[in-house]
Every structure is written in structure tokens, then in C-alpha cells.
Structure 1
Amino acid sequence: MFSGLSAFPLTPMNENGLDEPACIRLIERLAAAGVDSIGALGSTGSYAYLTHAERLRIAQLAVKHAGNVPVIVGIGALRTRDVQALAEQAQKAGASAVLLAPMSYQKLTADEVFGLYEAVTRDLSVPLCVYDNPSTTHFEFSDELHGRIAQLPNVGSIKIPAVSADPDIAKARVDRLRELIPSNVTIGISGDASALTGLNAGCDVWYSVIGGLLPGLAVAITRAAQSGNLQEAARLSETLRPVWALYGNHGSLRVVAAMAELLNQVSRPCLPLPLKTLEDIDRKSVATLLKALELE
């Protein structure tokens, strides 16, 4: 489960509620493409904007329509008691694993973050993936803190942010973390633009935003990397370079949401206000890119 390609789909919605048919379509599309796991209610799934009831519904839909593909459900919240309640809810919904980022309004200390994971993992019956995402949480894990948390029961993977574009530096970063964690805990790369570098540096899994919308291409890149066909993996990854550039300008969520709308996978709007997908010239840029990629 914590290896290969983990695809993170959008949670299509508007101010009237969840777009359940679109959610189901996206999940079934991922399962049909042969992804290794599905990350429901990650940052791309806008978990922080949803009520507990809405999150339960998405978890249920994901598990029901994923077939035999394991579903990892995000359980992040501001208060420990809410994270624990969401963890119990995800497990009852049939999640194969949970994903936890240290959300905060007041900036957290390292001891507070450790205490969060210690409290949550104590009562889990499924594995947990540690979500290290400083761009949204504004908390930066040290490798030493990762090492402490990885010793806790039920920790199965660490989702790290983008690595250096320099292959040697990237490998050194992964190797350093690997020395501090148990051998049964995998390391996953996020930040789509550095996914191939991370996989080549020794990461076990690609936690992918683009994989949640274009699973076929993301699976092909992952399988090529896993088989050691680095030339083919690089060729396929290079086709997505313009997408990574748009990520840098607008954020991956807005770009992927605009792509999903233009591909008629979801209705417009599909993000919770105040978030908006791209408009005007930026939207035209995405449409042009989709045409160039022959994804109209």
C-alpha cells in the first residue's frame, strides 16, 4: 500500500454540497488505471474545508468505489480530539490507512507535534502516514522528529515534501532519513515536479496530485522508475513540465481543479469558496496545455 503510486483526487463540491457523482467518477477512474492506493481527503481533496459528516461521506464513497485498491483517508484537524474522532470515523468507513498532517492556527512546537502523533497512533488499528507538508501547515519536521514519530505504533510511511533537483543531494536527504526510521516505514515523495527525482533517490512511493486526475500517465512514470527504465520515466515526466510550471505560479490544487473542469471530469465550480479555479488567460493556458498533451 505504501509503495508505487498513491493518487490523490479532488473532492468536487460547490457551496450547495458535495458533487457525489463526480467524486465517484474520479475514484473509479483511479481504480481502473491500476494505482497502488488512493489518497482521499488529502490537501488536493480539500479536507480542511469539510465538515466531519462530509468527510465521512467521502471516505465511504472512496472505499465503496475503489474496488480492491487500498484507500488512505486524511484525518487532519486543529484539535487532537477531532483528529482522534476522524481516525475512528475513517476506520469504521473501511479505510486501509490514515494520513495525518499537523494542522495548526497557533504555530506548533516539535513536542506538541510528537504528542499529537503519539495520542492518535495509540488507538489506531490501521497504519498511519505522516504528512510533512510545510507549505500548508507551516510546520517543518526535522529528520530527528521524523525518527521519533516513526518509532510509534502503526506508523507505516512518511510523506516528505519536494527534494532537491540535484540527484546526489536528493539521495543524501532520503538516505539520512532512512537511517533514522525503522525499516518497515516507507518514504514517499510529494511535490509532483520532484517525483521522479525522489523515486530515483530511493523513495518507495509517489504521493501524487496529478495522479489523482491523470492516473494513466502517473502510473506509467512510476512503473518505468520502478523497473529501472529511467530514460522512459524521464521522457514521460518531461511531458508534464509545463504542468509543474503552472503549479509554481498558481498552486497545484487550482491547476488540477481547472484541468478537471476543462476535461469535464467535474462541474464548475468544484472548489470550496473562497478558493477558485483559474480564470481568463490562466484558464486558457491550461486549455492550451491540455490540447498539446492531447488530453482534450
Structure 2
Amino acid sequence: MFLGLSAFPLTPMDEQGLDERAFIRLVEHLAEASVDSIGALGSTGSYAYLNPEERARVARLAVESAAGRVPVIIGIGALRTRDVLIHADNAQQAGASGVLLAPMSYQSLTDEEVFDLYETVGRSLSVPLCVYDNPGTTHFAFSDALHGRIAQLPSVRSIKIPPVAGDLDTTRARVERLRALIPAEVTIGISGDPLAATGLNAGCDAWYSVLGGLFPKTALAITRAAQAGDTNAAQAKSQALEPLWALYRDYGGSLRVIATMAEITGRVSHPCLPLPLKTLQGSARERVAKVIEQLGLK
């Protein structure tokens, strides 16, 4: 399950609640595209902005909308271990095939606290867990040693690492260092869309993808090329998306850009993000629309 393209859809919403119909359409589109898994309630899914009832509802909708065709991974991160356990139970009751856990914090966490989180949650799981290493949102940096220790826990089956700055050789060295510390059955997945092709070419087993959550065919083309060993094609397909990667860099990451694209293409209504987050407007929105047309994204 933690292999290939894992597509992370938005959770469209406004201040009145979830846009369930739009979310269902997004998930059905991913299932029809035959992505390898669907990651609901990741950072792209705005999990941190939802209450437990909303998150439980999204989990159920995601599983039902995939209709068994594609495994669904549900994000269960929260500030308190108590709440993580509630989200884990709700995800399992919804029929999730796996869960994704980031060490969220308001106070900075220690390595021992993070290990205890994964150990405690793992004991409550009947489905496999992916460790969500996302220092950009959690402000916690995993060491390789901590990854190696957590990966020994029986519930852990994948590690979602942040993008690796540098060329193919640098990325390959990072992946190989981590792989030497973890069990053979634990996969390594790359996040950070602009460097995903490099990560896949360097030996990552999966791409946990924001792009794939809205434009799965585009992300699948990169993933399948890398899986086939055609590193040049995978890199070329990624480089062709440079106008999109430039939007990510210029507008503070992928979420606002992808949400704006979802609105422009009619996949969701405006607004689709939880306040105070907002999609791009004015000249920035016009630029996004031009990139959609330029790249033929659909």
C-alpha cells in the first residue's frame, strides 16, 4: 500500500462546514485514475483545522468514495495523544487501510516524547502506520537515529520524508542512510512535489503527493516512469512542470496554489479553505490560471 503514488486531496470547506459533495468528487476522481493510495486528512486536507466529528466524517466519506478500489490512508495527527487515539479509532472504524501520523506540537517535543507517541498509538492499531516527517508544519526534525528506532515498532510500515535539497546523488545518499536503519518491510516515501521525481529516482518507494490529489494523471506519469527505471523521462516530466513549481515557491508552498487551482478548474467552490487561510486572488490568481492553461492540467 505504501508504494507508488499516494494522492492527497483537499478537504474543501467554508465556515459553515465541509463541502461533502466536492470532497466525494475529488476522491472518486482519484480512484478512477487508479492512484496507488489516497491520503485523506493530510496537510493538504487541512486536518489540523477540523474537529473530531468532521474528521471522522471525512474518513468515512473517503473510504466510501474510494469504494474499495484504492486503499485509503487517514491522517490522525493531533496535539494530544488522547486525541490521536480517538482519530485512530475513528479511522479504523471507517475502514481505513492505513493511518498517517505527524508529531504535532505547540510546545517543542523531545525525541523521547515523539517515540512514546508512536509506541502508544501503535499499540491501538490494527492497520499499518506511516510516520509523517513534516518539519515545515510540525517544527519537529526527526534524526535518522529516531527514524530507525520508530521504524522498529510493529505497526510502522512507511516513512514520509520531506524533500531532500541537492542533486540525485545527494538524495540517493540520504535514502540509503535511512534505509540502512529501518526494517526491509518499511518503505520510504518522498513528499515535496518539485523534488519528487528526484526522490523516486533515488530509490524512494512512494510519492506522497499534493499534485496527485488534484491532477493524478500528471503525477502518475512521473511515478510510473520512475518505477519503470526511466529516470530521464521522470525527471523531464517533472521539469516540464517548472511553472507550477515556481508558483509553489512564490506563494508559500503547495496548499494555496492547489486550492486555487481546484477553484479555477471548478473542482471545488470558493471559498474552499478554512479561515484564516485563503486561496490566491488578483494577479496571483490570474497567474495560476495561465499556468493551468500552459501546462494543460486537467
TM-score by shorter chain over 0.5? yes
Q: Please tell me the root mean square deviation across aligned C-alpha atoms, in Å.
A: 0.8
Partner of 2:127: 126
Which amino acid in structure 1 is aligned with residue 19 of structure 2? D
Partner of 1:45: 45
Contact 1:76 1:99 in 2 (8 A): yes
Contact 1:269 1:276 in 2 (8 A): yes
Partner of 2:17: 17
Give distance in 1, aligned partners of 2:297 and 2:172.
Answer: 33
Q: Are 1:167 and 2:171 an aligned pair?
A: no
Partner of 1:282: 284
Partner of 2:3: 3
Partner of 1:139: 140
Offset at 1:246? 1.1
Contact 1:263 1:295 in 2 (8 A): no
Partner of 1:221: 222
Which of 250, 261, 264 is 2:263 aligned to? 261
Partner of 1:79: 80
Partner of 2:294: 292
SS at match of 1:268: coil
Post-superposition Cα deviations, 1:96-119, rounded to whole Å, max 9, x if no partner, equal 000000000001111110010010
Offset at 1:163? 1.1
Contact 1:158 1:186 in 2 (8 A): yes
Offset at 1:281? 0.8
**TM-score, normalised relative to structure 1:** 0.99
Offset at 1:230? 2.0
Contact 1:165 1:194 in 2 (8 A): no
Offset at 1:291? 1.0
Which amino acid in structure 2 is aligned with residue 147 of structure 1? G
Q: Which structure 1 residue ranges, 5 or more long, are not aligned?
A: none
Offset at 1:71? 0.2
Partner of 2:205: 204
Superposed, which structure 2 residues align to 1:107-118 within 5 Å?
A: 107-118=108-119
The count of corresponding residues between Structure 1 and Structure 2 is 296
Contact 2:215 2:297 in 1 (8 A): no
Give distance in 2, aligned partners of 1:235 and 1:189.
Answer: 18
Percent sequence identity over matched residues?
68
Give distance in 1, aligned partners of 2:189 and 2:41.
Answer: 17
Give distance in 2, aligned partners of 1:61 and 1:137.
Answer: 26
Offset at 1:294? 2.1
Give distance in 1, aligned partners of 2:24 and 2:125.
Answer: 27
Post-superposition Cα deviations, 1:238-278, rounded to whole Å, max 9, x if no partner, equal 22111111111222100000000000000000000000010
Partner of 1:186: 187
Give distance in 2, aligned partners of 1:58 and 1:157.
Answer: 23
Post-superposition Cα deviations, 1:11-38, rounded to whole Å, max 9, x if no partner, equal 0000010000100010000001110000
Q: Which structure 2 residue ranges, 5 or more long, are not aligned?
A: none
SS at match of 1:162: coil
Contact 1:11 1:45 in 2 (8 A): yes
**TM-score, normalised relative to structure 2:** 0.98
Contact 1:159 1:188 in 2 (8 A): yes
Give distance in 1, aligned partners of 2:240 and 2:54.
Answer: 36
